[in-house]
Structures are given as C-alpha cells and as structure tokens.
Structure 1
Amino acid sequence: MPSNRSNRIKRWEDIEESALVQLVYVSTLTISSRLNTSIFDEVEGHARNYNEQHGITGTLCYGNGHFLQCIEGEKRHVFALKERIFADSRHKNIEVLLLEVINHRGFTDWRMRLLFLERWLWSPATKEQAAQLSPFLPFAPHGWSSDRTERFLQTIKTFDSPPHIKAAGITYNALGNMFRHIAAPHQAFLIIQGFLSVLLVVALILLYL
C-alpha cells in the first residue's frame, strides 16, 4: 500500500455515525456481468430511490471492466450501502481507495450519475470535454494512491454532462474483454494451432496441384 494512502483511509469504528464521509472503492465486473448490458440500468435504478431517501450522493465510473464509485453521505447510511454493494456477486476484487471524513460534498446529485471511461465509445462532444482524462486512461484504478484518486475525482467534477454511450458498444466491449480473458492464458496454444492450420492448407493445395 502506498504510504500516502494510509492516512486517507479511516477505520469505520473511528468515525462518528453522523459524520459526513466519502468512500471511494474500485472493483472488477465478472465475465457474466460484462455481457449483461442492462447491469448499468439496474445499478442506476436500484440506487436512485435509496440514495434520495438516505442523502447519498456521488458518481459511478466504468471502464475497461472496472468500476470506481464515490459515495458520500452520513457514515451510517454509507456503511449500510457499502455492505450491500460489497456483497454483490456481480463484481469482485473490491478495494477501498479512500475513506475519510469530509466537510462538504464533492457531488451533489443523488442520481449517482454514470460515467463511462471508454474513449472509443464516446461521442465527439464527449471527447472534447474529457480530453483532460488522458492521464487516467486506459482505466485501471486498482492500486491508485489517494492523491491520484482525488485528482481523478476533481477532474470529473468539471464535466458538464456524462459521456454519451450506446449499449451496443458496451456489448462489443464486453465480448472483447471475454475473448481477451479466454485467449490470454492459451496464446501459445492458439499460435501453434494457427500455424499448423496454415501448413495443412498449404499441404492440401500442393497435394491437388
């Protein structure tokens, strides 16, 4: 753990129940979840009523198969929401990047807007607006220091609107991620099989010449 992160992650038991806190965590979607494009609507829909009723604000970012979520509110409500989120089997590799007491909220919209960090899926207008995100792409937030996490949050606060995204694009990205995870451990096997297939084709052509 980077040394500059430790003082930005408090222990839950050391924080008063009524304190205003900010929790930032990252996680990785499971393969089956990446193929379910409705997961983003489900997450947003389930959060909407709970957040409004319990004074929860923040943002949810997705890119490269990873979630980064910032949750703000009273400690007791944030803790209860955290317990529900961390128990969700649709994601894994959960890591807390920030947990601290704050004086004021950085995000005031209880709708928990969803921000997609896949540059190739953005509209032209979005690309112009989000050019300042380049230092954080490709999106791989696991292991970020507290300072880097804070710089990222400060950057996305300036966005006028969330990036434009199409569900089909998410599907293609999910399929690409799935293929990458399946193929990566077997690259040598695939290369050999491909080479043998080429030799077989050549042999057949020479046989019938």
Structure 2
Amino acid sequence: MPLQHTDTVRVLDTIADTALMQLVYVSSLSLKGRLSSSIFVDLERHARVYNTERGITGILCYGNGHFLQCIEGEKAKVLALQQRIFSDERHKNIKVLLLQAIDQRRFVDWRMRSLFLERWLWSPDTKQQASQLAVFLPFKPYDWEPERTQQFLQVIKKFDNPPHIKAARLTYSALASKFRHIIAPHQAFLLIQGCLAILLVIAIILVYFQL
C-alpha cells in the first residue's frame, strides 16, 4: 500500500542527507490544473532548468487524470523539490508510493522526461514499445504496491525513444479534462434536458405537418 506519513518519516530518518534517494509519488489533477491548458508545457519547462541545476533526474507520467513522478538525487535536494511540488495547487491527493535510498539512478537523463499514458497522444515510436504498458492501463496507480511501482519504472526505463508529443495535443488533453470535470457532475441533468429537447423538436414537427 502507499506509504503513510509515519512510514515516510521513518524511512527518511534512515537515509543520510548526502545519500542518493528515490521518491515516487502519485497525485490527481486539481480544478486549477484542469483549467490550465498549458500545464504540461509549463511543468516540463520549469523542471528542465530547476532539476538540471540541482542534479535531479527522473520521469513524470500522466494519464487518466493522474500524475506519477519519480525523482532521484541527493536526499536534501530531493526533499527541497518535494516541498515545491507538494505545495503546487495544480494537483491534489498526493500519496507517496515509494521512498528509498539507492546506489545508482534508474533514470540518468539530466532532463526530466515526460511520458503521457494516453494512447491517442503517443508518437509512432512510443506505440511500438507500448505493448509492455498494457498491464498498467487504464492508469490507476493510487493503490499500487511497491513491487508494482518498481515493475512500472523498470518498463518505462527501457523505452528507447521518449514520446514526442505536439504541444497542441497537450492543450487538447487539458481542455478535454477540463470539460469532463465540468460536465461529469451534471450528466444526468444534461441527459434529461437532451431528451426533452428531442421530444420538443419531434412535437413541433408533428404539429407543423398536421396544420
């Protein structure tokens, strides 16, 4: 199960400040995040500069309204980044899935790579490699055990080609998420109103032909 706060504190106490550490957390897109059509571009731009300067590596995954991020680096620097990330109001319901000291980095690219677990956003190169991801889709990482989280990281580490996604598609994805968030609570109302509108049109047509 995801680590609780007491478990997280206990693990952190066993890791030296200068040791390499890996932190994996999951969160959900908040209303503020859904209303930001440029959220993905902004995250990548800011992460590239901040993480490179501080020796942070890892990967950021998004799918089905959820984020999963793996952060690797010295303990003190990872925790400083964690505070920045966890206070970001564009996501919510943050849970730590994995927290551990590591001997070497799993992701050695100094850029913070991004992986979008939405099939329609994948590049052709990504689709060729994506068969291994089928067991993790639809993307619902909140209840992943540490072993499953490790398996997921191992699979995406082997991707030869990171997905190349057009910024416009990311905008459409955020906009679609926004509309789903607004419409979902009112589905029943909209369905009833739609049916009534159809019946009204039919009634008008019948009256017109009877005149």
Number of residue-to-residue matches in the alignment:
206
How far did 1:112 drift?
1.0
Mapping of 1:1-209 within 5 angstroms?
1=1, 11-209=11-209
TM-score by length of 2: 0.89
How far did 1:11 drift?
3.0
How far did 1:113 drift?
1.0
Conservation of the 8 A alpha-carbon contact between 1:37 and 1:167: no
Q: Which has the higher helix share?
A: 2
> Whole-Å Cα distance in 1 between the matches of residues 173 and 47 of structure 2?
24
**Identical aligned residues as a percent:** 64
> Whole-Å Cα distance in 2 between the matches of residues 184 and 38 of structure 1?
22
SS at match of 1:162: coil
TM-score by length of 1: 0.89
SS at match of 2:184: helix
SS at match of 2:109: coil
> Whole-Å Cα distance in 1 between the matches of residues 182 and 63 of structure 2?
19
Moved more, 157-166 or 170-179: 170-179
> Whole-Å Cα distance in 2 between the matches of residues 45 and 172 of structure 1?
19
> Whole-Å Cα distance in 1 between the matches of residues 121 and 195 of structure 2?
34
Conservation of the 8 A alpha-carbon contact between 1:35 and 1:171: no
Q: What amino acid is the match of 1:199?
A: L
Q: What amino acid is the match of 1:80?
A: A
SS at match of 2:18: coil
CA RMSD in angstroms, aligned pairs only: 2.0
Q: Which runs of 5+ in 2 are unaligned?
A: none
Conservation of the 8 A alpha-carbon contact between 1:34 and 1:65: no
